[in-house]
Homo-oligomer: A and B are copies of this chain.
């Protein structure tokens, strides 16, 4: 029998509060840090740019030398290497401004005659000049610990000359598919009662995509001893995911095994599909037990495992991953359960595919996302705008 069917949010809170985030740090070359979580504050050691730079191709001048210049009455300046009264210096976008120059006349506003430059427009001081530190100021806090780094963030850090960064170690997750009905891919002619292993494979790909390293084990038979051994010989990892054997049948040993070598926190959740989900802790490591039915399994991954990874890996919430759409028809949830309805998106509409059917994995593959119906809501009506959690 189930321990006690627990509300999905309560189960998640209890589970997430049962373990701390990883504190391990690794130092990586900056080019390997895309998607990683920085664990140090970065303060700029230099100004960027660290010199006054020309912001245009043209001629650096002392602006006072261009007073009243116009196309009708141009000013002539001598092309030189340094700025003195009546001279100008050729500059390119990004080049260092010569001493004494305070503006750049765009090449388009000049005519060049041998060593003389005809300036066709009056220019104001500081025009087309980038100030020291206009991008980044020395001493400025340029990156805060805890953020997930993107290529543009890394480029800013690279502009400061930084070569290595301290980031959070990726969580390592072991994935243990269990069940004597399972067969590894490659076998021909399944017998009745045999199915190909897919949950472990699917979990391994999601967990990798969500920022972890993965150790995917071979299929473990339905035996308490074998399951126990598989877990304990891999408990060097940061998190354990099992698949199968979580229900209340005679062959469902996984929750009891978790309880025998650790602590079973949750067994039976008010989530649909996904009621037989179990959650626990072994030697301080979080354990998510996916039901064998694949849609219940994927709900366990998206609702519990993904949150656990975010906590473990110190991964902040990011915008995105959700779109809003109008339901093309009514959907109804399972009373008392948080229901994961699968929907297809089409031109701003969410077309419901299925709300039940824990065994129908093809309903997930046909879907673009989940509409999640809360426990206390009977359903959503056709035409109602809903949030769709994209299935990545």
Contacts and interface: CB of A to CB of B under 8 A. Distances in A.
Given A57-B252, A161-B187, A247-B93, A155 B321 contact: no
A368 B148 CA distance: 12
A4 interface: no
Contacts of A35: 209
Interface stretch (A75-83, A196-204, A260-268): A196-204
A51 interface: yes
Query: In the complex this chain forms, how many copies of it are found?
Result: 2
Contact of A51 (B34, B143, B193, B250): B193
Contacts of A364: 152, 156
A249 B365 CA distance: 53
Contacts of A162: 185
A192 B51 contact: yes
Interface residues of A, number: 88
B390 A95 contact: no
Nearest to A193: B96
Interface of A: 30-31, 34-35, 46, 48-51, 53, 55, 57, 90, 92-96, 107, 130, 134-136, 142-143, 150-156, 158-163, 179, 181, 185-188, 190, 192-193, 195-199, 201-202, 204-206, 208-209, 247-252, 292-294, 298, 319-324, 345, 359-362, 364-365, 368-369, 388, 390-392
